[in-house]
Amino acid sequence: MTSRTSTAPARTVREHPHYVIGLLFALREDPDCVVVRWRDRALTAREVHASVVAAASGLAAHGVGPETILGILTEPNSPGTLVARYAAHLLGAGVVHVASTNAASSEAVLSVAAQVSALRETGAALLVVDAANVDRARELRARLPEPLALVCLSGPAPGFLDLTAAAGAYGFLNDLKDPTASVALITKSPGVITYTSGSTGRPKGVRRSLSTWNHMVAATVDSGSRPRMLVTTPLSHTIGPMVDAAITSGGSVVLHEEFEAGAVLEAVSTHRVTRTFLASPHIYELLDHPDFESTDLSSLRELLYGGCPASPARLEQAVRALGPVLIQTYGTTESWGISVLTPPDHLRPELLASVGRPLPGVDVVIRDPETGRDLPSATTGEVCVRSPVMMEGYCGDGDPVRSVLNDGWLRTGDLGHLDDEGCLHLVGRLGDVIKSKGEKVHPVAVENALLSHPRVAQAAVYGVRDADEVEHVHAAVVLHGAPDGRSSAEWARQTAEGARDAVVTELREHVATTLSPFHAPAVITLRERLPLTASGKPDKRLLRAEARARPSECHHMESESVQ
């Protein structure tokens, strides 16, 4: 059996088993310091503490308690997102975010139908919204067959429960200060329901207990660091426990609705950000931004990234530019963190093609996806995981759970292998393997080959079937600016068709030489930018659909409007 395990004790959250109680204790230590920045607002620790306790008190007065499920619909990454979740968890209630799926962008907002489905599937009894979502909340309630109580964090509204009616009734906090009572409450709580991106089918609601969320926060707390954390990905997903841990550690957070490279650079410099988490393609955008070299990023101590495998060539560039601050994390919505590539690992070029070693307490094994048999080292198979923070299951239909969970092991659907040092190497998804000319082509290998070419800034590789159901390798590529200083878009618009053909031919030959001729893409599409999925991964489903719509083209430069 090919397996690697690492174990280490988890740190406690301010010596209290309930992460929100620990967080509230931390907020009281320095009440006048700014702990949350969002748009033009700067909230002090005192204000955040008061908002959480008041919301929890109001919800308790309306019967919210253990096993209640609250929907949360707020503006992307707003302080209200945190306040609603902290208040619910204080009472032992669970939450489901219905504003987005696995969104790395505020553009990825769920449709009304999808939001209704999420509320229905999870059995949400209340929907907590902010002022911007009052009208949407009423529309959702009208479409649900079961009663749904509405709550507005921004104050009383017609048809909404009034959270201010019980202001000052904070007696429940005295009970929660007792660790024994808190443990009992945590055990009963459904915690958090997070929806997957749906990149391989219908989005699924992943259930994770409050006990597990506590463990995730505790594993990240560092009381001596007082981090200043920049947030550009959804608070409802991977970064959520990191933010909780940052505040509990005595730190602060800067909340952005979405990733925009220039805004990130400005925020790091202005607020002296020490930590952030980005999707892998976002690192490439930072490196390519015209203000990157002139921006003071010296405060940055940890740049965590993940979402999809990263290019070794681009990581080497990032290490040279930023120093030993990069931390790659690999995980899934169902598993949370699986492995980590540490800053020292990034200084070893031979490890940059991997996603690092298993995290403390995580077991990783490689199995044959058809037989379930354990495979030896260096043999590619399905990545299977066992850890203390895995999901409890999916909402609704139980069949998908049986297909991915077996005897405590999670089938991730990712293909990879473990090397002799215990580092995990990913080569793609089970459903993404391209069968071209009788050979299996793993998209990640072709993407890395393209990204090793000096002209290529970003690349996505995917399979497209023609009218005869024959699959071909396609690639969407974003070029670096032209040697004369023009952007890739300007170069494409101003350069003759023959010159663009020459670049496409050069890239195809580069892949054939680096890997093999059957890896060389049959079609290469030149774009100004890659469309990203909700989780910050290249949106291959959209790229595949676009390719099918223009089967005769061998390359094409997309306009800015194609996202």
Each residue of 478-487: b (16+ CB within 10 Å) or e?
Answer: bbbbeeeeee
Q: Are 463 and 473 in contact (CB under 8 A)?
A: yes
Q: Do β-strands 393-394 and 381-386 pair in parallel, antiparallel, or remain unpaired?
A: unpaired
Mean pLDDT of 329-345: 94
pLDDT at 529 over 80: yes
Distance between CA atoms of 179 and 257, rounded to whole angstroms? 35
Q: Is the dihedral of CA 374, 379, 383, 385 positive or negative?
A: positive
Of 261, 215, 216, residue with least CA distance to 237: 216
pLDDT of residue 390: 87
pLDDT of residue 300: 97
Q: Are 425 and 354 in contact (CB under 8 A)?
A: yes
**Region of residue 363 (phi > 0: left; psi between -120 and 50: alpha; otherwise: beta):** beta
pLDDT at 433 over 90: no
pLDDT digits (tens, 9 = 90+) for 376-393: 988 999 999 999 888 888
Task: Give φ, ψ of 416 to 5 degrees.
Answer: -175, -175
Task: Give φ, ψ of 217 to 5 degrees.
Answer: -65, -45
pLDDT of residue 558: 41
pLDDT at 320 over 90: yes
The average confidence (pLDDT) of the chain is 85
Q: Do β-strands 393-394 and 205-208 pair in parallel, antiparallel, or remain unpaired?
A: antiparallel
Task: Give φ, ψ of 134 to 5 degrees.
Answer: -60, -45
The residue type found at 346 is H
Residue 208 makes CB contacts below 8 A (sequence gap 6+) with 191, 192, 193, 194, 336, 389, 391, 392
pLDDT at 180 over 70: no
- Could you please report the per-residue DSSP string of 415-444? EEEE-TTS-EEEEEEGGG-EEETTEEE-HH
Q: Which residues pair with 475 in a beta bridge?
A: 461, 524
- Could you please report the per-residue DSSP string of 2-30? -EEEE--PPPPBTTBSSHHHHHHHHHHHS
Domains annotated for the chain, with CATH where assigned, are 1-208 (3.40.50.12780), 259-430 (3.40.50.12780), 433-549 (3.30.300.30)
DSSP 374: B
Mean pLDDT of 36-62: 94
Q: Are 216 and 391 in contact (CB under 8 A)?
A: no
The residue type found at 302 is E
The residue type found at 92 is G
pLDDT at 1 over 50: no
pLDDT at 170 over 90: no
Using a CB cutoff of 8 Å and minimum separation of 24, what contacts does 239-246 make? Answer: 239/277, 240/85, 240/192, 241/213, 241/216, 241/217, 242/275, 242/277, 242/304, 243/82, 244/19, 244/23, 244/217, 244/220, 245/13, 245/217, 245/218, 245/220, 245/221, 246/275
Distance between CA atoms of 359 and 378, rounded to whole angstroms? 20
End-to-end C-alpha distance for the chain, whole angstroms: 43
Distance between CA atoms of 79 and 43, rounded to whole angstroms? 9
pLDDT digits (tens, 9 = 90+) for 220-237: 887 678 999 999 988 988
Count the alpha carbons within 13 Å of 227 in the hemisphere toward its beta carbon: 25
Angle at which helix 210-218 crosses helix 19-29, to 10 degrees, equals: 40
Q: Is the dihedral of CA 78, 81, 86, 87 positive or negative?
A: positive
pLDDT at 10 over 50: no
pLDDT at 106 over 50: no
pLDDT of residue 13: 45
Q: Could you give the percent of the chain with pLDDT greater than 90? A: 53
